[in-house]
């Protein structure tokens, strides 16, 4: 049986980029999940994260704040407002562009504790 593991907020991994940041709250590397990855993605106004896919897992994104245009299959774009959810299957190239005035904040979860990302 697995035990409950507390990861203090100051121990979460933060990856900074020109476009924004990724904060990882749970995954195998941090030792607090062997089944999924959970995190937060922030995209600054007018910026976008790189076009990418996840070969080993599906992804669910919940927009908590801001406004995004999310590019998915065949270049189709969908606009996301706070509370909107998008599910991205494995191997589907996608990215998000902030079309709002402030930071866009997304809660992200992946079906693998060892999430992989592949640039497209």
Dump pLDDT digits (tens) for 4-63. Answer: 888 889 999 999 999 999 999 999 999 999 999 999 999 999 999 999 999 999 999 999
pTM of the full structure: 0.92
Centre a 10 Å sphere on the Cβ of residue 23 and count the other Cβ atoms it contains: 16
Residues 6+ apart with CB under 8 A from 105: 40, 41, 42, 63, 64, 65, 66
CA 24 to chain centroid? 9
Centre a 10 Å sphere on the Cβ of residue 63 and count the other Cβ atoms it contains: 23
Domains of the chain: 13-115 (2.60.120.10)
The tokens describing 33, both together, are 């999940």
pLDDT value, residue 2:
63
Q: Please compute Rg for the chain using Cα positions.
A: 14
Mean pLDDT, the chain, integer: 94
Write the Ramachandran bin of 73: left for phi over 0, alpha for psi from -120 to 50, otherwise beta.
beta
């Amino acid at each position: 049986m697995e035990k409950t593991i507390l990861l203090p907020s100051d121990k979460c991994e933060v990856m900074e980029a020109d476009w924004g940041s990724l904060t990882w709250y749970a995954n195998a590397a941090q030792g607090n999940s062997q089944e999924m990855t959970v995190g937060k993605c922030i995209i600054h106004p007018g910026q976008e994260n790189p076009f990418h896919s996840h070969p080993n897992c599906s992804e669910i994104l919940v927009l908590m704040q801001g406004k995004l245009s999310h590019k998915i299959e065949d270049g189709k774009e969908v606009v996301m407002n706070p509370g909107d959810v998008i599910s991205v299957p494995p191997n589907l190239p996608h990215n998000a562009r902030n079309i709002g005035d402030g930071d866009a904040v997304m809660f992200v979860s992946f079906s693998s504790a060892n999430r992989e990302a592949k640039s497209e």
